[in-house]
Structure 1
Amino acid sequence: MTHDRSVFFVSDNTGITAESIGHLLAHFPTVKLRQLRFPFIDTLDKLQVAIDRIKEASVEDGVRPIVVMTLVKPEFRAKLKQVDAMFLDLFGTFIDPLASELGLEPSQGVGITHGAASQGYNNRIDAINFSLGHDDGMTNSGLEEAEVILVGVSRCGKTPTSLYLAMQFGIKAANYPLIPEDFDRMRLPAVLENYPEKLYGLSISPERLHSVRSERRPNSFYASLDNCRDEVAKAEDLMKRAGVTWIDSTHRSIEELATVILQKIRVPIRQYG
């Protein structure tokens, strides 16, 4: 695959934070990037492997690479920066200035942001298990623990949004599909009427829904455009009657949907860790 430039993600842990910073590169869609990952750089020997590969990429590409780095140890950062590259350095850009402003030495522990020992990590694991267990109306047991319950027609984005809320923010999110039986009664499933303050709806354009469902069950009534139009219209009418706030997911990313939902449910500030 041809590319214009190489981008390296160098980290002493998983590299998730480095890759999150790397999302800034999406603002330059015309540039073809080759992404190379070097996680768990916890020895000088491993660091040297990354350095050698960065130097090779510079020769291959004819332009200096971009290096997104989240290395805790100052000596590792200093050694890496001896290479001719453009650096996006989490610690140099953010942590060090914060330390100066606060008059404190930052913790040198590796993996603090995503540490398995943190309460935030445990919150996320609990929330993921909860969301998986309460996907697609799988069970009503423990529903009172849910912080948000997403409703909408099948395949409108409820499951990925629920899991994103759980994985990123430790939010216990359940989701329920609205089905023809609900439309016949024009009422929400009875169990949901006990939690009106937790409900949030997702909708979607019939055309997009038709496309998504056709990938799963092509040439079926379930996926037909007429049926999709009918279900979406009835679902929006039902949610309006029930006083459920809803948002169109058609042109919104999961991140955008999650942000809107978080504003709605106003969960208390917690350690996401």
Structure 2
Amino acid sequence: MTIEKRDRLGKTHRYPSVGKSGLAIVLLLFTTLITACETADEAPNADSNVTTEEVAEQTEKVEGQAVTVRSEIEKQVGENSFTLDNDGEEILVINTSGKPFLLPEEDDYAIQATGEVQNFVLVDLERDYNLGLDPEVYAEYETKPALLANSLALAPDPGEITQNPEKFYDLAIAVEGEVEDVLDPTSFTLDEEQLFGATDLLVINTPITEALDGETVTVTGQLRKFVLADFERDYDLTWDLDVKKKLEAEYSDKPVFVADSLYPKAQ
């Protein structure tokens, strides 16, 4: 049995239906952007998803490429930059998006950054972006690997979101977790095992195409309170009556993650 779904261009796509056993779910790698992005070429995706180790220690492998990294912040360097930690070796991230990005007050929150990897050369960066960087502040980073980020998002764990949702409503977020419970071809939960008292995070609006039970994925999007009527109005969902009843009973006025892209985590 299949479910038909139209995209923004009016083209019809067919997805396999998902029974209660959750044996089949679909993974479609969207190139829809998170809020901080400007163009489709800047969106995180499976091919660009790399580790901080690759940026710091295998710079020649990713230099000049658009990549996505996810890591905790080490320290703020200037108004438009900060460093990520890679086992003691810092990676400089410079916000070149033209939009302000407020770092979280909590030191242990991770962020996700997408952009081009370059060896940092201050004069070249000033020529291209005119950020007004202080040469004395950035002297120690000269010729070292840097990520010129055109997209930045907070990257909390599922439990951090469900435990303190008020911190994350209406922000650009990139959340990573293990697919736990597949509800239908557009809805699943991300497992939370780390924080006591936290619950799994419901993710909706992401057509999926492969058996992903137990897979670790990253989804980008925004957090909203669940109101069934609003969600049915705003999104092209495929929920049947049983799913609607289950979600309304379990999630009314609770945080739900509305995704605009999904891709595997960096290996």
Same fold, judged at TM 0.5 (above):
no
Query: Which gives a bigger RCO, structure 1 or 2 (Cα 8 Å, sep 6+)?
Result: 2
Instruction: Specify which structure has the higher proportion of helix.
Output: 1
The TM-score bracket by the shorter chain reads under 0.3
What's the TM-score, normalizing by structure 2? Answer: 0.27
Instruction: Specify which structure has the higher proportion of strand.
Output: 2
What's the TM-score, normalizing by structure 1? Answer: 0.26
Higher Cα Rg: structure 1 or 2? 1
